Amino acid sequence: MTVASAVGPPVTAVVTATPEARGVVRVRVAVRGPGATEFVDEHVRVAVPVASAWARLGDVLHAESAAPWHAARLGARHPGALVVAAHHGHVCRLRVGPSGTPLVLRTARLLRGARPEVPWPVWASLAHTFLAAGLPLRGLAEVRVGTGAGAVAAAGPRPGCVAGR
């Protein structure tokens, strides 16, 4: 997968996911920013409760849930995760960073229950990479996702809110 900024100098990311166990994925994201600087982020993404035994090792945790409080509770139960996401349909609620800053990502509501073309867990991994690379989380709103050699396939989600803007 290739991710490129739609505004300003291009930021690209190549995401590779390798399954470790049921619900556990080892993720590698290589980000190239303006000026051809490159940053590589490797982390473990865990689906809960499927892989609940792995949850204490996960850098990124995610769960399917429409409850607005789910990400906050999941983050409180697993304080070692840098990114926690609860997603359902067109909305993904995240808690990011050591302070658990809330971030809401939404797709355009074209159809009831619409989901992004790129799955929410991948967006949670991109949020982890943005934090690790020191990129502003608002940049997630500017990405376009392509498959293959940079062909743009779908716009990224829009941020709903970012605490401490």
In Å, how far from its chain's centre is CA 93? 10
Rounded Cα distance, 155 and 143, in Å: 7
What pLDDT is attached to residue 135?
A: 84
User: Which DSSP helix (H) or strand (E) runs through 129?
Assistant: helix 120-133
Rounded Cα distance, 99 and 108, in Å: 28
Rounded Cα distance, 111 and 31, in Å: 32
What pLDDT is attached to residue 84?
A: 97
Does residue 59 have a pLDDT over 80?
yes
Does residue 90 have a pLDDT over 70?
yes
And the tokens for 144? 């376009």
What pLDDT is attached to residue 142?
A: 67
CB 45 within 8 A of CB 67: no
Measure the CA angle with vertex 138, ends 19 and 95; round to 5°: 55
What pLDDT is attached to residue 53?
A: 82
- For residue range 103-114, list pLDDT tens digits in order: 998 876 655 556
Which amino acid is located at 9 in the chain? P
And the tokens for 8? 């300003």
And the tokens for 102? 């809330």
Which amino acid is located at 102 in the chain? P
